[in-house]
Structures are given as C-alpha cells and as structure tokens.
Structure 1
Amino acid sequence: MTYATVDAMKNKFGEQELIQLTDIEEPYQYAINMTRLNSAMNEANSEVDAYVGSRYSLPLQVIPPFLVNIACNLARYYAVTGDLTENDPIKARYETSIKTLHKISKGELTLGGSPAGESAPVQTANTVVFARGRRDFGGSGW
C-alpha cells in the first residue's frame, strides 16, 4: 500500500528539506531527487505493510492518517545517507514510529478511525481448550 507519498512528504517536511535530503551528489540540481525519494518511500511503505499486515488484512479499506505520518517519518530516515547523532530528531521520530508499528503488530494499538467492520484484525487459528480439572473440594458441589 502507499502511505508515504510525495505530496505527504512535502506537506510534512517541506520541499526544501526534501531537496536537502535527496540532492546530495554533484552536479546538484537544486530539486528533489525523485529516484532517491521514491526509493526511501517504497522502503517505508513496505515496512509499514510488514508490521500492519501481520495484524490486519491488506489492503486497508481506510488508511489512518497516523500511518501516513509514520511512513513519512520512516521515509525521511531512509532518505538520510549520512550518520545521524543519537539526539537527531530524524532518528528520534524513526525510533518512535518503529515502536508504534511494533505495538500495532502486537495488538497493543489499534488502527482507530476505521469504520466498524473495516480493517479488522486478521483472524488467527489460535484455539483455547478448557478441560475439566480435579475436584478437590468434594462431590456434588458447594
């Protein structure tokens, strides 16, 4: 699915930052390097699918805005080619986004905002079996 798009990236980070992230080789074009940006967005979108798809049927009927936000954070991180410091906001947003995706995949967070019945969690074959145990307190009951 497509969560991070060029328009979403521009809206979130601005065109100037996208140019700084992607136009990193001479001769500089002073424009967004679409090849580099598309590569980063594809990687981010597939990662979001991997986490969300482990819990929900894909494609989602409704894409929650926070998944777009998460994918944009991931794509921004993947577009960075240099080393990031430990306190870099790009790295911090990436790590927070990954933690959120992990919580979604474990069922600790849901994809809120979806209409009832849409984007329901994937049904698993987990089966619980209850067996009658011993009766330590006597015969017919209390």
Structure 2
Amino acid sequence: MYATVEAMQRKFGERELIQLTDTEAPYLDAINMDKLNAAMQEANSEIDAYVGSRYALPLQIIPPFLIEIGCNLARYYAVTGDLSENDPVKNRYESSIKTLTKISKGELVLGGSPVGESKPVQTSSNNVMFAVGRRDFGNGGW
C-alpha cells in the first residue's frame, strides 16, 4: 500500500480530509472513510499498474516518494467537482503521473532488478572473479 489513512493524515491533515470526503448530507464533520478508502484504492491500483509493468509486485521496499505519489493521486480522486487548470491538486496529480510514466519506461529506477532481469550473484566478499581461458597462440610465446 502506498496511500494509507495515516499517510494521508500526515500529508494533508484531518481537516482537509474531512473537506474532501464529507461532501454529502448528513454532514458529520468527520472523514468519510468509505470515500477515502475508495480514492486510496484507486490510487494504489494505478501505481501498481505503472510500477508493475517494470518491477515485480509487491515491492519489498516502498520508496517514500511512491507514498507521496499515492497520497497525491488519492487526494485527486477524492475531489468532487471540477478543478481549475492551476489547481494545486490537479498539478500534483499530473506531476505524479509523469513520474510514474518515467518509472514504467525505465527512466527512473526504484532500486532492485526490473522484471525479467537477473540479479547479480552475491559472493561472501563481493569480489570480482576471473576464469583463465585457453591459450590460442602456443606455449607461452608468439
């Protein structure tokens, strides 16, 4: 999971999450968890779609910037109504999608090996090893 309730509260604060999700009568002045969870699920699945095209899922270590992207996407999906061209919510969403596109194309890396690529062999000392091949030009001289 990239976007979580805790991450959303740290990033945007409870008041903003209430404003985003408590949009239908009866207004309870509380976070509408159903709406917030739906927005986070949509954001997380979109990130998986981009990242999963390049990396094996689930990721073993989630980079903090993917959590940031997940929160930005979830916030965008939680907004009801139209957004202006210069709205910060829309700008963060578009920037996040550009970053995810770069990840899926391999222009940005998350660490680890992309899907289908082998991992380097780990040795106890991580030394480079050489193998002596055959000699094609005689017994020690040309």
Instruction: Specify if TM > 0.5.
Output: yes
Paired residues, number? 117
Equivalent position of 1:39 in the other structure: 38
**Structure 1 length normalisation: TM-score?**
0.81
Q: 3-state DSSP class of the match of 1:110? A: coil
Name which one, 1 or 2, has greater alpha-carbon Rg: 2
1:120 to 113, 118, 133: 113
Q: Distance in 1 between matches of 2:58 and 2:32?
A: 28
Q: Which amino acid aligns with 1:123?
A: G
Question: Structure 1 stretches of 5 or more lacking a match?
Answer: 125-142
Residue 31 of structure 1, CA deviation? 0.3
Equivalent position of 2:109 in the other structure: 110
Equivalent position of 1:9 in the other structure: 8
State the Cα deviation string for residues 111-141 of structure 1 (Å, max 9, x = none).
1xx5xxxx420117xxxxxxxxxxxxxxxxx
**Structure 2 length normalisation: TM-score?**
0.81
Runs (4 or more) in structure 1 with deviation over 4 Å come to none
Equivalent position of 1:100 in the other structure: 99
Residue 24 of structure 1, CA deviation? 0.3
State the Cα deviation string for residues 45-89 of structure 1 (Å, max 9, x = none).
000000000000001110000000000000000000110000000
Equivalent position of 1:138 in the other structure: none
Q: RMSD between aligned alpha carbons? A: 0.9
Q: 3-state DSSP class of the match of 1:10? A: helix
